[in-house]
């Protein structure tokens, strides 16, 4: 869980970085160049397979963890005051992860699949004219699409808030001096990544970027 | 603090034996002193039940001074009740007010089956200790206490881990019923000392294997265990055990 989690965390940096190119507000020129590079460079193509493998592994691990743990307490308590001893989101990683999975299915079928179709269908005749930026802009004119994306980012926020520092603990890293730093970086990372992601559909919807 | 008496309603889990289906029984207790311990309150209730010819409530206890770890009770949704860093025997009735209703349940975990009422079978912990919580020493005269130099910091950290009393509150409080805090305390206590060195790798591997065999859940780092542990055992021990486990897994030839 920890290793695959950190791997996905590192991917999100790249993802948010490339997407942030839309904020250049040049009609998508910078963004499309970056996106084109990401989808054409063959080293990145291979890494993409690794990314999906990591994601699937993370999901499978999470599912097995949930399954194992759900049999560890056959009779539950009648009264639980769990909020007195732990944070709700640390106890809800399975739920948050499932929400994220649903979001990812929608997300991938929206943008990833269209890129692949342009790239490969009919020998890639549509590749040159494929404009991912325009696609984003159009998608994010619908209010409920924007809402789904915001819900996805909110799930991601809580998932990361626990996941970032938790990954280090799992890997055996808990140090008097460094753990507070790791935790602070985790909080900073989570806030920055999530705000940037959330700003993308919002900015398109409100017309802040053209 | 002002001394006062109180009348309370208790909802206590009653279960005949490990296979019976238990249920909650409601009891009324009167004139309970705020200076009594929670267990003394149960003594008063049991005396009354015995006088009335009823079945007293079975619960575990031994030292009644917070060092044996026997007094497992899940009180009002918390392991060992509302006070932190505290055992049930050291919980005093001044934690409650006149007229309160208190719900008392046994530890809940597949690995801790209920024996009767509030008593659970914690043999799983003993079997984990047997799997690796020991060191090898030569027989004969005891060695001089100071013949082995030990870093003061390591000695202190080891001692902190050794203060675990095996009460099982960590398992009871964990949403996954994970025993990681207990096992990591036992592993750490010996891994930090030169005396624990010969069995270091086998110890962590065997104890973790036994822990999994007993049916405890897996740790998801919610840290509820640390918050509820009466001895304040730190989750840094869990990280240490993870480290020991990774290292041992990579280096042993077993
Ligand atoms: S780690 Fe704490 S809560 Fe767990 S058994 Fe030891 S003393 Fe009890
Ligand atoms: S009875 Fe020994 S710790 Fe409570």
Is the domain of B82 the same as that of B159?
no
pLDDT of res. B253: 66
Q: Where residue A154 falls among pLDDT bands split at 50, 70, 90?
A: very high
A8: pLDDT strictly greater than 60? yes
Q: Are B130 and B178 members of one domain?
A: yes
Model-level ipTM above the cut of 0.95: no
Torsion sign (Cα): B145, B150, B151, B155: negative
Helix (H, G, I), strand (E, B) or coil at B31: strand
Residues B127 and B247 in one domain: yes
Share of chain A above pLDDT 90, in %: 81
- Residue B174 lies in domain: 123-251
What band does A120 get if pLDDT is binned at 50, 70 and 90? confident
Q: What is the pLDDT along chain B (254 residues), one digit of tens a residue?
A: 689 999 999 999 999 999 999 999 999 999 999 999 999 999 999 999 999 999 999 999 999 999 999 999 999 999 999 999 999 999 999 999 999 999 999 999 999 999 999 999 999 999 999 999 999 888 888 888 788 899 999 999 999 999 999 999 999 999 999 999 999 999 999 999 999 999 999 999 999 999 999 999 999 999 999 999 999 999 999 999 999 999 999 987 65
Q: How far apart are the first and last CA of chain A?
A: 40
Measured from the CB, is residue B64 less than 6 Å from ligand 2? Answer: yes
Same domain, yes or no: B196 and B213: yes
Instruction: Count how many pairs of residues, chain A against chain B, have C-beta atoms within 8 Å.
Output: 102
The answer to whether residues B219 and B197 belong to one domain is yes
pLDDT digits (tens, 9 = 90+) for A95-115: 999 999 999 999 998 888 878
pTM of the model: 0.94
Residues B140 and B204 reside in one and the same domain: yes
| Pair B34, B63 in one domain | yes
A181 domain-assigned: yes
- Asked whether B208 lines ligand 1 (CB < 6 A), one says no
Distance B167 CA to ligand 2 centre (A): 8
Q: What is the pLDDT of residue B242?
A: 97
Q: Which atom of ligand 1 is nearest to the CA of B182?
A: 1
Same-domain check for residues B151 and B223: yes
Inter-chain residue contact B222 with A90, CB threshold 8 Å: yes
Closest Cα partner for A152 from A117, A83, A200? A200
Nearest to B49 by CA among B10, B105, B84, B90: B10
Is there a single domain that holds both residue B148 and residue B245? yes
Per the domain annotation, does A82 fall within a domain?
no
What is the extent of the structural domain holding A196? 2-71+92-206
- The mean of the pLDDT values for chain A is 93
User: Which ligand number lies closest to the CA of residue B60?
Assistant: 2
Q: In the prediction, which pLDDT does A118 show?
A: 77
For residue A40, name the pLDDT band (cuts at 50, 70, 90).
Answer: confident
Domain match, B153 and B106 both: no
- For residue A76, being part of any structural domain is answered with no
Ligand at shortest distance from the CA of B37: 2
CATH of the domain at B66: 3.10.20.30
Give bridge partners of residue B120 from the DSSP assignment. B114
| Two tokens, residue B60 | 């575990």
Q: How many domains does chain B have?
A: 2
Strand partners, B14: B23
**Mean pLDDT within A189-207:** 96
What is the tens place of the pLDDT at every residue in A172-190? 999 999 999 999 999 999 9
| R_g (Cα) of chain B, nearest Å | 21
SS3 B150: coil
Looking up residue B145, the CATH number of its domain turns out to be: 1.10.1060.10
Residues B107 and B157 in one domain: no
Q: Does ligand 1 come within 6 angstroms of the Cβ of B169?
A: yes
Q: Is residue A129 over pLDDT 80?
A: no
Asked if the Cβ–Cβ distance from A87 to B222 is below 8 Å, we say yes
Among the partner residues B77, B218, B228, nearest to A77 by beta-carbon distance = B77
Domain assignment of residue A103, yes or no: yes
Nearest CA distance, B139 vs chain A (angstrom): 36
Count how many domains chain A has.
Answer: 1
Structure confidence at residue A191 (pLDDT): 98
| Residue A84 forms part of a structural domain | no
Choosing from B99, B115, B131, the residue where a domain stops is B115
Are B139 and B235 part of one and the same domain? yes
DSSP string over A36-90: HHHHH-HHHHHHHHHHHHHHHHHHHHHHHHHHHHHTS-SS--SS--GGGTS-HHH
- Closest ligand 2 atom to the C-alpha of B63? 2
* Cβ <8 Å between B217 and A79: no
In a domain, A39, yes or no: yes
Cα–Cα distance between A35 and B252 in angstroms, integer?
Answer: 46
């Amino acid at each position: 869980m920890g290793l695959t989690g950190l791997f996905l965390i590192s991917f999100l940096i790249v993802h948010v970085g490339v997407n942030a190119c839309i904020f250049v507000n040049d009609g998508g020129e910078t963004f499309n160049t970056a996106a084109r590079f990401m989808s054409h460079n063959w080293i990145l193509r291979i890494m993409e397979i690794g990314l999906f493998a990591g994601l699937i592994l993370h999901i499978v691990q999470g599912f097995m963890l949930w399954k194992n743990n759900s049999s560890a307490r056959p009779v539950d308590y009648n009264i639980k005051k769990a909020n007195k001893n732990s944070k709700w989101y640390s106890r809800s990683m399975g739920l948050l992860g499932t929400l994220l999975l649903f979001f990812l299915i929608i997300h991938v079928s929206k943008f990833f699949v269209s890129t692949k179709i342009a790239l490969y269908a009919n020998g890639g005749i549509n590749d040159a004219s494929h404009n991912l930026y325009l696609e984003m802009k159009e998608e994010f004119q619908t209010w409920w699409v924007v809402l789904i994306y915001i819900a996805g980012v909110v799930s991601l926020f809580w998932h990361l808030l626990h996941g970032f520092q938790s990954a280090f603990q799992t890997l055996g890293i808990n140090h008097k001096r460094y753990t507070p730093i790791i935790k602070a970086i985790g909080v900073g990372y989570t806030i920055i990544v999530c705000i940037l992601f959330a700003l993308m559909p919002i900015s398109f919807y409100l017309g802040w970027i053209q | 603090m002002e001394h006062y008496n109180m009348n309370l309603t208790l909802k206590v889990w009653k279960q005949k034996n490990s296979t019976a289906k238990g249920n909650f029984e409601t009891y009324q207790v009167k004139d309970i002193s705020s200076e009594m311990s929670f267990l003394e309150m149960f003594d008063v209730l049991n005396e009354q039940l015995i006088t009335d010819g009823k079945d007293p409530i079975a619960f575990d206890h031994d030292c009644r001074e917070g060092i044996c770890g026997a007094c497992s009770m899940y009180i009002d949704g918390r392991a060992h009740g509302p006070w932190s860093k505290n055992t049930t025997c050291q919980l005093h009735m001044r934690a409650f007010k006149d007229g309160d209703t208190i719900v008392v349940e046994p530890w809940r975990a597949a690995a801790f089956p209920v024996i009767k009422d509030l008593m659970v079978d914690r043999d799983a912990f003993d079997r984990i200790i047997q799997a690796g919580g020991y060191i090898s020493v030569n027989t004969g005269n005891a060695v001089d206490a100071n013949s082995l130099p030990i870093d003061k910091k390591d000695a202190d950290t080891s001692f902190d881990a050794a203060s675990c009393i095996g009460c099982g509150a960590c398992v009871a409080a964990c949403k996954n019923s994970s025993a990681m805090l207990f096992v990591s305390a036992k592993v750490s206590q010996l891994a930090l000392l030169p005396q624990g060195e010969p069995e270091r790798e086998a110890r962590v591997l065997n104890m973790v294997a036994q822990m999994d065999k007993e049916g405890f859940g897996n740790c998801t780092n919610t840290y509820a265990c640390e918050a509820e542990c009466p001895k304040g055992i730190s989750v840094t021990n869990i990280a240490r055990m993870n480290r020991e486990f990774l290292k041992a897994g990579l280096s042993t030839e077993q």
